[in-house]
Amino acid sequence: MIVDDHEVVRRGIAEVVERAEGMTVSAEAGSVADGVRRAGLVQPQVLLVDLQLPDGTGIDLISQVRQTLPGARAIILTSFDDDDAFAAALEAGASAYLLKSVRGAEIADVIRAVAAGRTLLDERTITRRKAGHEDPTENLTPSELRVLDLIGEGMSNREIAERLGVAEKTVKNHITALLAKMGLQRRTQVAAWVASRKHSSWRAEPGH
């Protein structure tokens, strides 16, 4: 069963599955509510679920379906390469986590492996991922983190100084320090980094 709010994506995945030997699409849905209802009707062996749905997340759907169909296996298919989402998928009982950039043949292989009882998602994978995704802000002081946030809001050094009640020179010192700690060269890179973090969260408002 395929759950994704984009019909084009669903149809593309359905074609891949239908072409693969021994697999068939039992149902399609575009929301958590519709997915839970249809899963109850068709009782799919494997769920292929997008993370972001109009009325919740794929994690919500997996948790609800597994209450009535504990034997159902789940695969997350998403565009978010996000450690928090990865961990949430594991906690909800998903067996695999696929990015939408994968090739069609890979999707079929993963579905087949999960249907056979394999789990391609585990704590060790998350530990390895986190080791390779160090947080560049982890060594910043509280003051430097505040300056980082205000740069992300588009404030000038003078505006940041006024907001924090410090001298403009102090703000410049904070920026010099946080650039060094984050491995960046320019203030504009800091602004871009903050913006990318704000738009990368899979827990966006429903419908976004």
User: Residue ranges per domain, the chain?
Assistant: 2-132, 142-198
CA 150 to chain centre: 25
Share of the chain above pLDDT 90, in %: 54
Give me the CATH code for the 2-132 domain, please: 3.40.50.2300
User: What digits encode the pLDDT tens for the residues 29-53?
Assistant: 999 999 999 999 999 999 999 988 9
pTM: 0.64
Structure tokens at 193: 């980094």
Helix/strand/coil percent split, the chain, to 5? 55, 10, 35
Give the span between the Cα atoms of 181 and 40, in whole angstroms: 51
Task: Give phi and psi for 186, each to the nearest 5.
Answer: -130, 155
What is the mean predicted confidence (pLDDT) over 127-145? 75
Q: Hey, what CATH topology would domain 142-198 get?
A: Arc Repressor Mutant, subunit A (1.10.10)
> What are the Cα distances from residue 81, in Å, to 85, 93, 116, 129, 164?
8, 18, 25, 10, 34
| Digit-coded pLDDT (tens) for 170-207 | 999 999 999 988 888 888 888 888 876 765 555 655 44
Compute the distance between CA of residue 123 and CA of residue 46 in angstroms, rounded to an integer.
21
d(CA 28, CA 38): 8
Which pLDDT score is estimated for 120?
84
Q: Environment class of residue 124 by beta-carbon count within 10 Å: exposed (0-12), middle (13-18) or buried (19+)? A: exposed
Residue 206, classed as helix, strand or coil, is coil
- pLDDT tens digits, 56-74: 999 999 999 999 999 999 9
